[in-house]
Amino acid sequence: MTAPFVTPEDWAQHRHEMLAALPPALQGESLPAVLLPYQRELLAATARTQLVVVDKSRRIGATWGIGADAVLTAGSQKSAGGMDVLYLGYNLDMAREFIDTCAMWARAFSPACSAVQEFLFHEQDDKGADRAIQAFRISFASGFEIVALSSRPRSLRGRQGYVILDEFAFHDEADELLKAAIALLIWGGKVLVISTHNGVDNPFNTLIQEIREKRRPGAVVRCTFDDALEQGLYQRICLVTGKTWSPEAEATFRADIRGFYGSGAAEELDCIPAQGSGVYLTGALIEACMTAGAPVLRLACPKGFELKPDAERASFVDAWIEDALAPVLAALDVRVRHGYGWDFARSGDLSVMVPLSEGRDLVRRTPFVIELRNVPFREQERILFHVVDRLPRFGAGKHDARGNGQALAEYAVQRYGALAIEAVMPSQPWYIANVPPLKRRFEDRTIAIPRDGDHKDDLRQIRMVRGVPKVPDDAHTTGTDGGQRHGDYAIALVLANAAMDAEVGAYGYVPASALADDSDAWLDQVVADDTGGRALW
């Protein structure tokens, strides 16, 4: 039996019809079931935030997922948040592919929409001459449309809606394009920036860092190739292509893809911009925020101290508390709020406690730092409780709870409550979320730390490790006391700054008599207290 004759026109129509429908394996499923977890996270982010940036691996289906968002947005009435969707890729093929994807989603959702239309979009070139640019659109019964435009800032002039900048790092006029897109936010539009990286100095990476450092409002959604695999990417590939999934097949697939990319895998698959490793905080930046007034209180216990009787250990630590710690605690400003971070170590490295206070000028100051070397668990607990019990307007504390540090963190949670204390298990997402805000404070000069050489060295141990700002596991140095350090102060400071960012109400009883020496101090307390002065009574 001979196969029926198929003309080129018939085959082209057949391919367009395939593009306009969901894969058979996904038909009949609800939207959450069709989208993978990271695609759902992306849609949730665009629903919450006007400016969203997607830091992604190649070919994980982010743009395919956002096509659903585009159709839902353009297909909705204005009262339900509907608006035009304006897509800008860096070439015509990207525009055509996105419109085909949207046509597929439109048929899946079955809203009233017209067929894909090609039209000529008129704009002026750099010399002012008018020219016609090929563009694509889908019109909806809502009156809105999805339009794929050329990759030029002028394309957005006079328009309003939801802008999608695809593979933003590879646009020729990326900075100007972003400026033009941001203008649409004024009247309630949205901007979604999607891209893989194209170097550390690219406007795309700059935008990500600005949002992470809270210099620019917005949200960053990050998804590496491995993240996508863990959330079902290869299972979806097998479902669509008819292959049989197994863990072994996925492992082979992952190894093959990484092998194909070679040295480019870090940037193309792992969201790590090229040439992006090195010192995170410069020496000049650190020194500019150092002050001479904050003491560093160091306690080192002799070898075998943990074997001493309980009473002898307690007496030794109590004497240190009375001599070194009590005076600085008594000098704390009772009118400002306090928090702390604690990086734990029992032997080898240091346990470091960094308290922070924040005054009316919003500058965070370190009143003192505690460094403990070879101090037993019970004595560390004794020191911690003595300090936190006396921190005025105490709000929150964060502990590095990895390893042995989990015990002390748990004791603190039990004493002060889970709302005030967090036992942190630092991970890559945690570092990405919490180290950039600390860097911003150094850049803005809104943090003050002790002038101490060991602390400067610790902060300079923070490096960009595969795109994540952190202290590398092998970053061991020798302190001025001859002992080992592992960026301990830097980690404690990151924890302390994160604690001050926590949305926890300050508490702490301050009697009016404590302010009696200053006739105006009671008024200052009322003004400084967020609760309207309840701490006075």
pLDDT tens column, 49-103: 999 999 999 999 999 999 999 999 999 999 999 999 999 998 888 988 999 899 8
Q: What is the mean pLDDT of the chain?
A: 85
HSE toward the beta carbon, residue 178, CA cutoff 13 A: 22
**Which comes out higher in pLDDT, residue 466 or 232?**
232
Ramachandran category for residue 38: left, alpha or beta (phi over 0 → left; psi -120 to 50 → alpha): alpha
- pLDDT (average), residues 175-202: 94
Interatomic CA distance for residues 207 and 168, integer angstroms: 11
In degrees to the nearest 10, what's the CA dihedral of 143, 51, 60, 429?
-150
Query: What are residue 364's DSSP bridge partners?
Result: 358, 447
- Residue 352: its pLDDT value, please? 96
| DSSP per position, 287-342 | HTTEESSS-EEEEEPPTTGGGS-HHHHHHHHHHHIIIIIHHHHHTS-TTSEEEEEE
- Residue 32: its pLDDT value, please? 63
- pLDDT (average), residues 4-23: 51
- Residue 499: its pLDDT value, please? 97
Strands of 28-175 (E only): list them.
51-56, 85-88, 117-124, 130-139, 145-149, 162-166
- Residue 503: its pLDDT value, please? 79
CB 225 within 8 A of CB 269: yes
Which tokens in the block code for residue 482? 């001859």
Q: Give the strand pairing for 369-373 and 463-465.
A: unpaired
Length of the chain: 537
- Residue 3: its pLDDT value, please? 40
| Nearest partner of 222 among 185, 247, 193, judged by Cα | 193
Q: pLDDT tens digits, residue range 409-428?
A: 999 999 999 999 999 999 99
Split at pLDDT 50, 70, 90, the class of 145 is: very high
**Which comes out higher in pLDDT, residue 1 or 291?**
291
% of the chain residues with pLDDT over 90? 62
Distances (CA, A) of 225 to 12, 188, 251: 33, 33, 13
Domains in the chain (CATH in brackets) are 12-269 (3.40.50.300), 283-501 (3.30.420.240), 510-537 (no CATH)
Q: pLDDT tens digits, residue range 479-494?
A: 888 888 989 999 999 9
Report the amino acid identity of residue 498: A
Task: Please give the DSSP secondary-structure letter assigned to residue 518.
Answer: S
**Which comes out higher in pLDDT, residue 234 or 29?**
234
Interatomic CA distance for residues 36 and 48, integer angstroms: 19
If residue 430 lies in a helix (H) or strand (E), which one and from where to where?
A: helix 428-444
Q: Give 261's contacts (C-beta < 8 A, 6+ positions apart).
A: 268, 269
Interatomic CA distance for residues 316 and 310, integer angstroms: 10
Q: Give the strand pairing for 369-373 and 364-365.
A: unpaired
Interatomic CA distance for residues 427 and 154, integer angstroms: 42
Q: Is the pLDDT of residue 104 over 70?
A: yes
- pLDDT (average), residues 166-195: 95
- pLDDT (average), residues 171-175: 91
- Residue 224: its pLDDT value, please? 96
Q: pLDDT tens digits, residue range 249-298?
A: 999 999 999 999 887 888 999 998 886 556 788 888 999 999 998 999 99
Q: Give the strand pairing for 484-485 and 421-424.
A: unpaired
- C-alpha 39: how far from chain center: 17
Interatomic CA distance for residues 465 and 477, integer angstroms: 18
- Residue 342: its pLDDT value, please? 97
Q: pLDDT tens digits, residue range 500-531?
A: 999 776 666 555 544 555 545 545 554 445 44
- Residue 191: its pLDDT value, please? 98
pTM of the model: 0.66
